[in-house]
Amino acid sequence: MTNCQFTLNEMFKKAIAKTFPELPDAPVLVQASQGEKFGDYQCNSAMAINQILKSKGINSNPRQIATSIVANVPQNDLMQKVEVAGAGFINISLSHNFVSSMLKDILTNGVQPPAVPVKKRCVIDFSSPNIAKEMHVGHLRSTIIGESLSRLLEFVGHDVLRLNHVGDWGTQFGMLIAHLQDKFPNYLQVSPPIGDLQAFYKESKKRFDEDEAFKKVAYQRVVELQGREPDVTKAWNLICDESRKEFDNIYERLDVTLIERGESFYQDMMPNVVADLERKGKVIEDEGRKVVFVQGYKVPLTVVKSDGGFTYDTSDMAALQQRVRDENGDWLIYVTDAGQGDHFKLIFGASREAGIYDPKVIRVDHVGFGVVLGEDKSLDKLKDKERDKVLTPEELKDAQEAVAYGCVKYADLSHNRINDYVFSFDKMLDDKGNTAVYLLYAYTRIRSIMRTANIDRKSLESCLNTTEISLDHPKEWKLGKCIIRFPEILSRVLDDLMMHTLCEFMYEMATTLTEFYDNCYCVEKDRKTGEVIKVDMGRLLLLEATARVMETAFYILGIKPVTKM
């Protein structure tokens, strides 16, 4: 699909270069218009260029500049009209034929991703719960955001490696292993019943806090685990495997794909990381610790503790180095809570200064998110609306699951991830407003109209060459223009990794779709018999193009649409 904003930007870039060859870095500012009276897009470069010329002592006015730029815009099929307005705004109106051809392209070739300059190897670190502990809501946010970003990156053609950096190493495993050995001494022969890991963790923590002798044994088990002692390693694996069962159940329900690569994976790499930092003169001794300072920060990273042990800082630097050198990652993304922002600034800064990665070659992002504030209520909205009386049991189950998981994911993704938000089922399940339920209803309504018209996809595709998508009605035109903005929305999300932008677009498309329903008949029935007497195939093609964009967006968001609700 053509990214209209990018294409227009390139056109005006050429026009400005031709008009002002003496200004090689003249700003090119093309954006979607804020209102219909300003056209579909605006180029606001004239005012900025006017300021540059004035600074050089050249008399000019922005309206004349805008007129000169318009005169040099190359011939194209995209624009119907270009006008200079006000003090020098350039208003751009799209061509009906161009929008119609874009919609037909969606129906002929599917929803194609926007072009990306270079296909990258993306390593995205998300979810990352702790072994033997319950996955809390912060891990859930990381999982939902990380999965959606992964799907978007894959959709546009990047090679994506999804990593689950689980907390499977550290002092706590000493107490867990020691407690398991005491409670189930035959654990090597008979798999111990430790299904309730939460209770098991609390028991071992209580002993660790209250029993000095047990604490000493726990510390000894940590040393033995680090030395890969076989019996201790077996106990560690048993505990990890039990946690994985719980995590995998959640990932399966959420339709999330991950490769586990916990902290333990990087243990053998950490001595070399510290040695490399020492060779490069980055390590400073500080009261028995080995620390690394980063320019612009007063607090250092601790890479070796005073007792000789490594830290999370060391582990994260080892992970970053491995992802660059072994995985050939040229875009690294870390999806964690915003509270870890300063930590990752230090990790990225130290790695950059140590030459582990070059920011000119490798992009590194911390995708931080706010806190989820609690509210917990039941989920039986579809039965409240008596949908169980019009859907088969299988259709009702599919719809309930689509709404249940979809509403949780969408509520998370539709908020600006930097902000906190209140987890409220009442708001999530509202069928009005910017919710998954509203979007899913909008999609199922399209499918309902197609069933009423007795038209399937093959029938629609067969009439593509003989049927025009006219876009004559204002609501048809509004919907058509909205649909073809999809590529530029995805491009914007790829820049800032803010998924709520895609959600806002989906909501705009759904509300525009509702306006279309209310004003444009697609299927006309006999009022007495209910028999279909007229079908507007052009409008059905417009609806099908809308549905296909919605399906693609749903997939990226990790939501499964259903054809009936």
Q: Tell me the per-residue pLDDT of 314-341, one tens digit each, with 9 for 90 and over.
A: 999 999 999 999 999 999 999 999 999 9
Are residue 178 and residue 321 in the same domain, yes or no? no
Instruction: Return d(Cα 165, Cα 187) in angstroms, integer.
Output: 27
Pick the range with the lowest mean pLDDT from 163-167, 383-387, 453-457.
383-387
pLDDT in tens, 397-413: 666 777 778 888 999 99
pLDDT in tens, 26-80: 999 999 998 888 999 999 999 999 999 999 999 989 999 999 999 999 889 999 9
As a whole number, mean pLDDT of residues 435-460 equals: 92
Are residue 529 and residue 411 in the same domain, yes or no? yes
Q: Which helix (H) or strand (E) covers residue 419, if one does?
A: none
Are residue 269 and residue 242 in the same domain, yes or no? no
Question: pTM of the entire structure?
Answer: 0.90
| pLDDT score recorded for residue 195 | 78
Is 493 inside a domain boundary? yes
Is 118 inside a domain boundary? no
Are 141 and 166 spatial neighbours (Cβ–Cβ below 8 Å)? no
Answer yes or no: is pLDDT of 385 > 60.
no
pLDDT in tens, 468-523: 999 999 999 999 999 999 999 999 999 999 999 999 999 999 999 999 999 999 99
For residue 250, report the phi and psi dihedrals to the nearest 5 degrees: -65, -45
Look up tokens 């790695």; give the residue. Answer: 351
352, 355, 361, 363: CA torsion to nearest 10: -30
| pLDDT score recorded for residue 397 | 66
47, 50, 51, 54: CA torsion to nearest 10: -160
Helix, strand, coil percent content, the chain, rounded in steps of 5: 55, 15, 35
| pLDDT score recorded for residue 133 | 87
Beta partners for residue 332, in sequence order: 123, 364
Answer yes or no: is pLDDT of 312 > 60.
yes
C-alpha distances in Å from residue 167, one per residue of 79, 131, 177:
54, 6, 15
Are residue 450 and residue 535 in the same domain, yes or no? yes
Are residue 311 and residue 452 in the same domain, yes or no? no
* Residue % of the chain over a pLDDT of 90: 77
pLDDT band, residue 445 (cuts 50/70/90): very high
Spatial CA neighbour of 512 closest among 563, 438, 450, 437: 438
| pLDDT score recorded for residue 430 | 75
Q: Is 261 helix (H, G, I), strand (E, B) or coil?
A: coil
Residue 564 has a CB neighbour count (10 Å cut-off) of 15
| pLDDT score recorded for residue 383 | 47
Q: Is 243 helix (H, G, I), strand (E, B) or coil?
A: helix
- CATH code (residue 66): 3.30.1360.70
As a whole number, mean pLDDT of residues 353-365 equals: 97
- CATH code (residue 433): 1.10.730.10
Is 382 inside a domain boundary? no
Is 116 inside a domain boundary? no
| pLDDT score recorded for residue 528 | 83
Instruction: Return d(Cα 422, Cα 424) in angstroms, integer.
Output: 6
pLDDT in tens, 224-277: 998 899 999 999 999 999 999 999 999 999 999 999 999 999 999 999 999 999
Is 320 inside a domain boundary? yes
Are residue 427 and residue 288 in the same domain, yes or no? no
Are 204 and 178 spatial neighbours (Cβ–Cβ below 8 Å)? yes
Domain region containing 309: 126-166+263-374
| pLDDT score recorded for residue 396 | 63
As a whole number, mean pLDDT of residues 445-465 equals: 90
Spatial CA neighbour of 552 closest among 497, 491, 465, 486: 486
Structurally, the chain folds into a number of domains equal to 4
Is 379 inside a domain boundary? no
pLDDT band, residue 209 (cuts 50/70/90): very high
Are residue 405 and residue 473 in the same domain, yes or no? yes
Structure tokens at 297: 């920060």
Structure tokens at 162: 């999804």
Is 317 inside a domain boundary? yes
As a whole number, mean pLDDT of residues 111-137 equals: 93
Are residue 148 and residue 273 in the same domain, yes or no? yes
pLDDT band, residue 298 (cuts 50/70/90): very high
| pLDDT score recorded for residue 377 | 38
| pLDDT score recorded for residue 35 | 84
Domain C-terminal end among 231, 256, 281: 256
CA angle 4, 10, 15 (to 5 degrees): 125
Please list, in sequence order, all residues whose beta carbon lies within 8 angstroms of the beta carbon of residue 289, skipping any fewer than 6 positions away: 302, 304, 305, 306
Are residue 175 and residue 81 in the same domain, yes or no? no
Is residue 39 left, alpha or beta, with left meaning phi > 0 and alpha meaning psi from -120 to 50?
A: left
Chain mean pLDDT for the chain? 91
pLDDT band, residue 125 (cuts 50/70/90): very high
C-alpha distances in Å from residue 432, one per residue of 377, 463, 564:
18, 35, 18
Domain C-terminal end among 256, 279, 309: 256
Is 34 inside a domain boundary? yes
Are 61 and 76 spatial neighbours (Cβ–Cβ below 8 Å)? no
C-alpha distances in Å from residue 101, one per residue of 105, 178, 481, 486, 536:
6, 69, 12, 15, 18
| pLDDT score recorded for residue 395 | 63
pLDDT band, residue 449 (cuts 50/70/90): very high
Domain C-terminal end among 374, 405, 429: 374
Answer yes or no: is pLDDT of 130 > 80.
yes
Are residue 226 and residue 286 in the same domain, yes or no? no
Are residue 149 and residue 284 in the same domain, yes or no? yes
Furthest C-alpha separation in the chain = 90
Are residue 314 and residue 221 in the same domain, yes or no? no
pLDDT band, residue 376 (cuts 50/70/90): very low
Beta partners for residue 94, in sequence order: 79
